[in-house]
């Protein structure tokens, strides 16, 4: 039985799907209104958010790890994080109680950042300083970017005694990987999640990097995995969950016929096949 575990949050594919959906609506548009509906979410909204963004034109939408980025022609970038339950509502006719930021474009589109739990946040920084943003400055390479290679991952894992799954979730090793997709990629590469990172043979690392890319690409193509509150900006639910190999499938049969096991590591559910993954 597939289960949406309570600890699951929007991960890289969900954020990438969100950014692509927003780009269809916002790219090239003038920001006519950028209006916080409350003082804060997880953190206070920037005091000058409205002043620095109203009237600006959006020139690019992109992503860093699990953060969405909206660049403007004034040299500023809006950073947003969806937290545990955040999503953008497109063409929001009426504001809902948990719509914390209203964005209106010169073209007449109306968007609201909805987050019932308020674990998300919005920040505003000069675009030229994005790489030095405290969170980003500590991050490793993007898993879908050219710098994430088997050689780079082998170097990051060398000599490490921590479990390989924990290392892949470490944003300093690789940026943006989350619990669902690490479980899936480790199964695809045949690597036990508890194996020390430094003990993973190079041949399996050579399989792991393309497995990570394949899992993420498939999840993005499917619109992400719908877990609890997550939905795309158009309101549609992602459907990658139907293709999960191990995640959420405790007690079900792996493709090899072995029962999939679930255990809890540092408060996170880990799913794996004890036969396929060594």
Residues with a known catalytic role? 10-11, 66, 268
C-alpha distances in Å from residue 73, one per residue of 24, 25, 143: 18, 17, 28
Which residues are CB-contacts of 209 (< 8 A; sequence separation ≥ 6)?
Answer: 148, 149, 150, 153
How is residue 132 annotated by DSSP? Answer: G
Alpha-carbon distance of 187 to 170, in angstroms, equals 18
121-126 and 76-81: which strand pairing?
A: antiparallel
Which residues are CB-contacts of 44 (< 8 A; sequence separation ≥ 6)?
Answer: none
Closest CA to 251 of 241, 261, 263, 240: 261
Q: Angle at CA 266, nearest 5°, toward 261 and 270?
A: 20
Contact 83, 117 (CB under 8 A): yes
Q: Where are the alpha helices (DSSP H) in the chain?
A: 12-26, 49-53, 134-137, 150-157, 164-169, 179-189, 202-221
Contact 272, 183 (CB under 8 A): yes
Closest CA to 91 of 104, 106, 78: 104
């Amino acid at each position: 039985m597939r289960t949406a575990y309570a600890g699951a949050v929007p991960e890289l594919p969900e954020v990438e799907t969100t950014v692509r959906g927003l780009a269809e609506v916002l790219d090239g548009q003038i920001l006519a209104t950028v209006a916080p509906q409350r003082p804060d979410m997880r953190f206070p909204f920037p005091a000058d958010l409205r002043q620095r963004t109203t009237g600006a034109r959006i020139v690019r939408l992109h992503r860093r790890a699990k953060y969405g980025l909206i660049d403007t022609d004034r040299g500023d970038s809006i950073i947003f994080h969806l937290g545990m339950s955040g999503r953008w509502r497109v063409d929001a006719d009426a504001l809902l109680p948990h719509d914390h930021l209203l964005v209106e474009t010169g073209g007449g589109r109306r968007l609201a950042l909805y987050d019932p739990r308020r674990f998300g946040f919005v920040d505003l920084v000069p675009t030229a300083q994005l790489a030095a943003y405290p969170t980003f400055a500590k991050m490793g390479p993007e898993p879908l970017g050219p710098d994430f290679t088997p050689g780079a991952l082998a170097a990051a894992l060398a000599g490490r005694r921590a479990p390989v799954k924990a290392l892949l979730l470490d944003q300093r090793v690789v940026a943006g990987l989350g619990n669902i997709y690490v479980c899936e990629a480790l199964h695809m590469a045949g690597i036990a999640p508890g194996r020390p990172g430094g003990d993973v043979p190079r041949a399996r690392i050579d399989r792991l990097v393309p497995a990570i890319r394949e899992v993420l690409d498939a999840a993005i193509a499917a619109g992400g995995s719908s877990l609890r509150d997550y939905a795309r900006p158009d309101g549609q639910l992602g459907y990658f969950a139907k293709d999960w190999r191990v995640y959420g499938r405790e007690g079900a049969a792996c493709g090899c016929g072995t029962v999939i096991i679930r255990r809890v590591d540092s408060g996170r559910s880990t799913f794996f096949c004890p036969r396929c993954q060594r």
